[in-house]
Amino acid sequence: MLTRMLKAQAFKQAQQLFAQGKVQEATELLEHLQEEYVTLCDENKALRSQLSEVAEVLDMSEHMEFDGQKYWINEENERKGPFCQICYDRDGLLIRLQERSRHFLCHGCGSHYPRADSANGDATPEAQVQKRVVSLFK
Ligand SMILES: [Zn+2]
């Protein structure tokens, strides 16, 4: 509000300078105002885009589902995902998990999520070693 009042005064001042024949000073003042105007427009544009991003995130969070390990996004006709729980909870990032033969892999943090359809996956030597390694760090 204060800025807007100052701007109004500055434009008036420029008019007065022109009226007084101080063209150089008036031109400089107008150039300065023009620069500020461009800066404000850029700021405004950035804020608008941030605002729409926030609105999108809020809208999206209403459609998110946690299956106990990973996140999914339920849209009208399809289910998107899965997405990494660690990356989302820690950084607010939706990182799509890469499907492997027995697990889903996150390229963001390197987490592994066992696939629900490979219930016997734990029986493989690879999975057993992995399980033991994980238990060492608990
Ligand atoms: Zn991750």
- In this prediction, residues 14-36 reach a mean pLDDT of 94
**First CA to last CA across the chain, in angstroms?**
57
Strand partners, 83: 71, 96
How far does the centroid of ligand 1 lie from the alpha carbon of residue 104, in Å? 10
Tokens 């427009």 locate to 41
How far does the centroid of ligand 1 lie from the alpha carbon of residue 122, in Å? 21
Whether 123 has a pLDDT exceeding 60, the answer reads no
How far does the centroid of ligand 1 lie from the alpha carbon of residue 85, in Å? 7
Whether 31 has a pLDDT exceeding 50, the answer reads yes
Radius of gyration of the chain measured on its C-alpha atoms: 29
* Ion ligand 1: residues, CB < 5 A: 84, 86-87, 95, 106, 108-109, 111
Q: Evaluate whether 96 touches 81 at the Cβ level (below 8 Å).
A: yes
How far does the centroid of ligand 1 lie from the alpha carbon of residue 38, in Å? 40
How far does the centroid of ligand 1 lie from the alpha carbon of residue 45, in Å? 31
Eight-class DSSP state of 97: P
pTM: 0.49
